[in-house]
Chain A
Amino acid sequence: MNDMATRLMTDTSTLSLEGVTFTHRGQRLLGPLDLCLTGCKRTLVMGPNGAGKSLMMRLAHGLLAPTRGDVRWEGRAPRQAMVFQRPVLLKRSVLANLVYALAVNGTPRCRRKARAREALERFGLGSLERRPARVLSGGEQQRLALARAWLLEPEVLFLDEPTSALDPAAILAVERAVQEFHVGGTRILMSSHDLHQARRLADEVLFLNAGRLIEHTDAATFFTAPASCEARAFIRGELVL
């Protein structure tokens, strides 16, 4: 376990954001942001609503292009996947949703169904394969989205508030899945505004407020001795403005 983690840590490349700014209709929503992410860690992006967490995740994943500045992977850009707050599932069966993702990433046709079923079993959805994906419960939909991400064998997994609309049992399932990804060697970048969740999962924390990066520290430091007053207030559960 320790060996594998070390090996993967040396393998993964570095994500750097340099002077990244995102402006929409003349209003600066994020940045300027400078940061460097290395190692196979679980990074939790925290901050109040509107702090720019989702925006930062999308810029890092490449869904959005920054207005100014650079998002760069040093070395080879890794395989990536993203799980959204509200899972986007195609209007097809559960199985077809997974087969589709495999078709897109170029898996040979004859292997797609077997791989998809394997993922369904792994995420506890084996009995639902013929059901329309859109009628699943919120928790099942999020697990299906995780199964789809798992099939893509990502080296980096982005999760944007993946549990904010779920009940405790479903939250637990998602957190277990995140742990499994991590143990399998996937770097995790997950946004959340749930402090307890962050304590359970985080190796390091990025704390954002009002579009700016306030802190970037390891989890232990962040929760015991935050440097900024905004972070202290956030941890105490006060309203941060």
Chain B
Amino acid sequence: MPSDTSALNTALSLILGFDPALMEIVALSLRVSLAAVLMAAVVGLPLGAALALWRFPGHGALVVALNALMGLPPVVAGLCVYLLLSRAGPLGELGLLFTPTAMIVAQLVLVLPIIAALARQQVEELHLEYREQLTSLGLSRLRMIPTLLWDARLGLVTVILAGFGRASAEVGAVMIVGGNIDGVTRMMTTAIVLETSKGNLALALGLGIVLLGLVALVNAIAYVVGETARRRLG
């Protein structure tokens, strides 16, 4: 086993050395996870808000399904997207398998339920408080959605971060649909799996530390932005 210090040293030398291969992997990881999370937010936030505002037959089942999908194993999501994008699958014509786009789609499938389900919860709470006032102002439920999303924005930042955490940490889905191709679809997590399988545990752990640092950085930025807004809005 590598000692902790050797992993830490490896991590430090990777970062300080600006290893170009590492930079490429880091950039790809960020690009894929951020793109997936942004698109999941665009679809998931209004979807969650709609679920909070409308009641219809099957509403409860849909909410339960969405909550359950938060626990969807990444490998299963990866397999489904693989079968979808494979040449023999319905979207095979697009030729997206083993590209970063395929990885974005797979992570979108993983992150969307998290963002929609948690957004529904946040919006539902706020809606309880706002409902009478907004109805009194003459707003339809459709027009309430942007208002509620905007006023819940501080809580929704945390929701989006939870989605980003899931996307950046998962390996099962991107491994299957990306193929871990060197220089094309190799991300932080798949590189860690590869180095582990080579028995290169110090490098694997070093990459893990770099990944953790990266996720911490994104969270720190969101925290600072959130705190500033909180102070400003009381």
Q: With A132-B234, A134-B233, A134-B234 as known contacts, state yes or no: A88 contacts B132, CB within 8 Å.
A: yes
Once bound together, how far apart are the Cα atoms of A134 and B151, in whole Å?
Answer: 12
A82-B233 in contact (CB<8A): no
Q: Tell yes or no: A90 within 8 A of B by CB.
A: yes
A63-B132 in contact (CB<8A): yes
Interface size on A, residues (CB 8 A): 22
Q: Which residues of B contact A91 (CB under 8 A)?
A: 151, 154, 233
Tier of interface size on chain B:
10 to 19
Q: Tell yes or no: B138 within 8 A of A by CB.
A: yes
Contact flags A86-105 to B (C-beta < 8 A → 1, else 0): 00101111000000110011
Q: Which residues of A contact B232 (CB under 8 A)?
A: 132
Q: Tell yes or no: B217 within 8 A of A by CB.
A: no
Contact flags B118-135 to A (C-beta < 8 A → 1, else 0): 000000000001101101
Q: With A63-B136, A101-B137 as known contacts, state yes or no: A92 contacts B234, CB within 8 Å.
A: no
Q: Which residues of A contact B138 (CB under 8 A)?
A: 104-105
Within 8 Å by CB of B136, from A82, A131, A135, lies A82
Within 8 Å by CB of A105, from B135, B137, B234, lies B137
B133-A88 in contact (CB<8A): yes
Q: Tell yes or no: A81 within 8 A of B by CB.
A: yes
Within 8 Å by CB of B132, from A58, A101, A132, lies A58
Q: With A63-B136, A82-B136, A105-B137 as known contacts, state yes or no: A88 contacts B234, CB within 8 Å.
A: no
Q: How many A-B residue pairs have CB under 8 A?
A: 42
Q: Tell yes or no: B196 within 8 A of A by CB.
A: no
The chain B residue sitting closest to A148, CB to CB, is: B137
Q: Which residues of B contact A132 (CB under 8 A)?
A: 232-234
Q: With A90-B151, A132-B233 as known contacts, state yes or no: A104 contacts B133, CB within 8 Å.
A: no
Once bound together, how far apart are the Cα atoms of A105 and B135, in whole Å?
Answer: 12
Once bound together, how far apart are the Cα atoms of A91 and B153, in whole Å?
Answer: 10
Q: Tell yes or no: B9 within 8 A of A by CB.
A: no
Q: Which residues of A contact B129 (CB under 8 A)?
A: 88
Binding site for B on A (CB under 8 A): 58, 61-63, 80-82, 84, 88, 90-93, 100-101, 104-105, 131-132, 134-135, 152
Pull 29 A–B residue pairs with CB atoms less than 8 Å apart, ordered by A. A61-B136, A62-B135, A63-B132, A80-B136, A81-B136, A82-B132, A82-B136, A84-B132, A88-B130, A88-B133, A90-B130, A90-B147, A90-B151, A91-B151, A91-B154, A92-B151, A93-B233, A101-B137, A104-B137, A104-B139, A104-B143, A105-B137, A131-B234, A132-B232, A132-B234, A134-B233, A134-B234, A135-B234, A152-B137
Binding site for A on B (CB under 8 A): 129-130, 132-133, 135-139, 143, 147, 151, 154, 232-234
